[in-house]
Amino acid sequence: MEKSSRIYIAGHRGMVGSAVMRKLEKEGYDQIITRTSKELDLRDQLAVEAFFEMERPEYVFLAAAKVGGIVANNTYRAEFLYDNLMIESNIIHQSHRFGVKKLMFFGSSCIYPKLAPQPLKEEYLLTGLLEPTNEPYAIAKIAGIKLCESYRDQYGDNFVAVMPTNLYGYNDNYHPENSHVLPALIRKFHEAKESGAASVEIWGTGSPLREFMFADDLADACYLLMQKYNEKLFVNVGVGEDISIKDLALLIKKVIGYEGELRFNTDKPDGTPRKLMDVSTLNKMGFKPKTSLEEGIGLAYEDFLSRT
């Protein structure tokens, strides 16, 4: 990418898209194209076509998606499948039609089978059953990967896909029901601290292992991949270390300064037992994340406080 290249960030106000935008602006790119969801409905094929015809982006970061935590994924199953299929299909197809030089599609680690060996290697895709609670979202993301691969195979388009691990950071979603585990816990512990509650409920047993990456570290990795990676196989992006939900909760409790107890509600689902990404491909390219989990939680908490 040249500094003067026209770069479209789909989903620029979300956590991932805004992190990519900060990275590009920091690196001196000044032709960044954006649209809010009110300005452009990415599910609308004709509207997306008209947008590409008018703006003619040279590079595309496809970070737009309907996202949410375990409750949202399991409740709005049709919406998660339909909306994400339409968004990615429209953008990828129009990127092909209008000669985009390179597109990067953002997937999710939930694409892997529920009981896949750990750590998760790229070749484990489609080798087993998915986690049922987020299956529609995972299927949509798998379709996005296959769209990138298929447009490359049939037309030679340089469309690549990255699979981020669990992300958190600036502009995250802290909704009490529809957010992911880390921002949901930030909100829970903050509200418990403010109200003086004696305990905080944690869903499940606390035993599942999860990997968490600060979104600005993801943006650094994807900037590197956009410059140097041009292969068909998608690339895992993560930190290569995981933590139990119980230990994550204790760390968030420490950062926020909550003095009460943890109460685990074992009637609630745990989800996948473990999700740790094999990030050897990325590490071979010289990438290492900068932000420790405790530091990142502190930054995310500051962001949460700024919006409450």
Q: Is residue 103 part of a domain?
A: yes
Q: With a cut of 80, say whether residue 271 has pLDDT above it.
A: no
What is the CB-side half-sphere exposure of residue 298 using CA atoms within 13 A?
A: 7
Q: Is residue 301 part of a domain?
A: no
Confidence of residue 185 (pLDDT cuts 50, 70, 90): very high
CATH number, residue 148: 3.40.50.720
Contact status, residue 64 vs residue 42, Cβ threshold 8 Å: yes
Q: Is residue 267 part of a domain?
A: no
Q: Which pTM was predicted?
A: 0.93
3-state class of 277 per DSSP? strand
Q: Is residue 74 part of a domain?
A: yes
Q: Is residue 252 part of a domain?
A: no
For tokens 């998660």, name the residue: 80
Q: With a cut of 80, say whether residue 286 has pLDDT above it.
A: yes
Domain span at residue 102? 7-172+211-240+276-291
Q: Is 155 a catalytic residue?
A: no
Share of residues in the chain with pLDDT > 90 (%): 87
| Separation CA 307–CA 57 (nearest Å) | 32
Q: Is residue 138 part of a domain?
A: yes
What is the CB-side half-sphere exposure of residue 16 using CA atoms within 13 A?
A: 27
Share of residues in the chain with pLDDT > 70 (%): 100
Q: Is residue 57 part of a domain?
A: yes
Active-site choice (8, 29, 112, 137): 137
Q: Is residue 54 part of a domain?
A: yes
| Separation CA 236–CA 111 (nearest Å) | 11
Confidence of residue 269 (pLDDT cuts 50, 70, 90): confident
Q: How many domains, in total, are found in the chain?
A: 1
Confidence of residue 65 (pLDDT cuts 50, 70, 90): very high
What is the arithmetic mean of pLDDT over 269-283? 89
Confidence of residue 45 (pLDDT cuts 50, 70, 90): very high
Contacts of 91 (CB under 8 A, 6+ apart): 10, 42, 48, 60, 62, 64, 103
